[in-house]
Every structure is written in structure tokens, then in C-alpha cells.
Amino acid sequence: MFRDELATALRAEGRTVNTEVYKWTPFGKRYMDLDVWHNGVNLGGIEAKVGGSRYLPLQKLKDAWLDANGYPVQLVKKPDGW
């Protein structure tokens, strides 16, 4: 699973990574694929996508709200050949 491969790569770079982390938003629950930390500082979340998997409008809305409230979210798509 790409999410787990990405988590392993980030851990190899010295990051602490948790998977499927719940985040509250006023638009409903949001589960981040990856929640990334470094030296005790939360760097934010990662939404991992593979192939034609869509980044849905409701996900985008929740992520924009999280970002505006101090929790940045990055979309990472699996590169061809990974």
C-alpha cells in the first residue's frame, strides 16, 4: 500500500509517522493517511493517492480548514514506477 511505503520512507529520514489519524473539522471527521512529526513538532498531514484515486471536494474542504487552523495537509500522488 502506497501510504505504508511513504510512511516507511519518511521514518527512514528520521520522521515519526502515524497512520489513519483522526482530525476534527466543522465539516465532519477527517482521517489523515499520515500524520508526520519531527523533533517533537507536528509537521502536518499527508493525503496519499494512487492512480485515478480522486481527491474529493469534501476532503479538500476539510483539509483547507485544517490548514487555515494550523495543520497543513499535503496531497502526495504515487509517482509512476514507484
Would you list the domain boundaries of the chain? 2-77
The yes-or-no verdict on residue 20 having pLDDT over 80 is yes
Reported as a pLDDT band with limits 50, 70 and 90, residue 69 is very high
pTM: 0.91
Fold adopted by 2-77: Trna Endonuclease; Chain: A, domain 1 (3.40.1350)
Amino acid letter for position 75: L
DSSP secondary structure code for residue 37 in this structure: E
Mean pLDDT taken over the chain: 96
Alpha carbons 32 and 43: distance in angstroms, whole number: 13
